[in-house]
Chain A
Amino acid sequence: KNQVEQSPQSLIILEGKNCTLQCNYTVSPFSNLRWYKQDTGRGPVSLTIMTFSENTKSNGRYTATLDADTKQSSLHITASQLSDSASYICVVSPYSGAGSYQLTFGKGTKLSVIP
C-alpha cells in the first residue's frame, strides 16, 4: 500500500530560525512529490511540485529536496516568520496515467513559530 510518513509530528521554533521537515514515501512507481502548507481552518496551498528527476525546488524561503533513490524528501524553511505557523503536508503522486491524480497524503508536520 502506498504510504507517506512525515516527521516530526510537531515542531516549535523561534522566529528567525531555520528548520527542516522530513518526508519518507513508499509510492512506486512514482511521478511527483508535492509539499503543501495548511493554515488552521483553511484548505492546503501548494508550495512546490517536484518530478522524480528533480533534486531541489525553491519557493521563496521554502526549499524542497528530493532523493528518489532513498524515497526521501525534505522541506527547509529559512528565516522563519510567525506566518509560517501551519501544518506542512507531503503528498506523493503515483505514475499511473489517470491514476496519477489519486494522491497519497502524509499526516503533516505541525510547525509553530514563536516570537
Chain B
Amino acid sequence: NAGVTQTPKFQVLKTGQSMTLQCAQDMNHEYMSWYRQDPGMGLRLIHYSVGAGITDQGEVPNGYNVSRSTTEDFPLRLLSAAPSQTSVYFCASSYARGQPSQETQYFGPGTRLLVL
C-alpha cells in the first residue's frame, strides 16, 4: 500500500492564482481531511469528508473548496491564492467506524505552498 499520497510536494503561486492540491489513499478509508500547519500553531482542519459525495467545513474553510467524487481522492482547491495561505498542507485519512471516532489517522507527506 502507498498509504496517503499528496502532490505536488512544493508549489509557488502568485497572488490571485488558483490551484488544486491532490490527495489520494489506497486503504479504502471513508474519512479524509485537509489540515494546514503554520509555524507556532497546531494543525487546523480546513475541510473533511466522511464518504464519497459528503463534505463539510472545518475550522478554517475560507478560500478553499473540496469535493469527494471517489473514496480514494480528496482534492483541495485554492480559488484565488493569498499570501495568508502560505502554509504546509496535510491530507489525512482513516476508517469512519464508530462515533465517536477512535480510528488512527494516517497523514500524507505534505505539500509546501508559498504564495507571493
Give how many A residues have a beta carbon under 8 Å from the other chain's beta carbons: 28
Please state if A89 and B101 are interface contacts (CB–CB under 8 Å).
Answer: no
Q: Is B74 an interface residue (CB 8 A)?
A: no
Are B59 and A102 in contact (CB-based, < 8 A)? yes
A93-104 Cβ-contact flags toward B at 8 Å (1 or 0): 111111011111
Please report which residues of chain B, range 61-113, place their CB below 8 angstroms from some CB of chain A when the two chains form the complex. 90, 92, 96, 99-102, 104-110
A71 within 8 A of B: no
Whether A4 contacts B99 in the complex (CB less than 8 A), given A49-B104, A101-B33, A102-B48, comes out as no
Q: What A residues does B96 contact at CB under 8 A?
A: 101
Bound-state CA distance A7–B99 (Å) is 30
Verify B50–A103 contact, CB threshold 8 A.
no
We find that the number of chain B residues with CB closer than 8 angstroms to chain A is: 28
Q: Is the CB of B45 within 8 A of A100?
A: no
Determine if B53 is an interface residue (Cβ-Cβ < 8 Å): no
Q: Decide if B107 touches A108 in the complex (CB within 8 Å).
A: no
Residues of chain A within 8 A (CB-CB) of B101 are: 31, 93, 100-101
Task: Name A residues whose Cβ lies closer than 8 Å to a Cβ of B.
Answer: 4, 31-32, 34, 41-46, 49, 51, 89, 93-98, 100-108
A-contacting residues of B (Cβ < 8 Å)?
4, 31, 33, 35, 40-45, 48, 50, 58-59, 90, 92, 96, 99-102, 104-110
